[in-house]
Amino acid sequence: MKKIRLIIFDLDGTLVDSSRDITNALNYALKPYGFKAMTVDETIKLVGEGISRLIEKVIGTERMEIKNDVLRRFLEFYSDHLTEYTRPYPDVTDTLDKLSTYRKAVISNKREELSRKLLEELGLAPYFSHILGSDSTPEKKPSPLPILTVLKREGLTPAQALMVGDSNLDIEAGRKAGVITVGAGYGYRPLEALNGADFLILERLSELPDILTKIQTED
Catalytic residues: 10
d(CA 216, CA 7) in angstroms, rounded, equals 13
Query: For the packed helices 168-177 and 145-154, what is the interaxial angle rounded to 10 degrees?
Result: 50
Q: Which helix (H) or strand (E) holds 96?
A: helix 92-98
d(CA 182, CA 174) in angstroms, rounded, equals 9
Strand partners, 12: 16
d(CA 157, CA 150) in angstroms, rounded, equals 10
Q: Tell me the pairing of strands 180-184 and 161-165.
A: parallel
| Buried/exposed 126-161: b ≥16 CB within 10 Å, e otherwise | ebbebbbbbebbeebbbbbbbbbbbbeebebebebb
Q: 42 and 217 in contact (C-beta within 8 Å)?
A: no
Q: Tell me the pairing of strands 6-9 and 103-107.
A: parallel
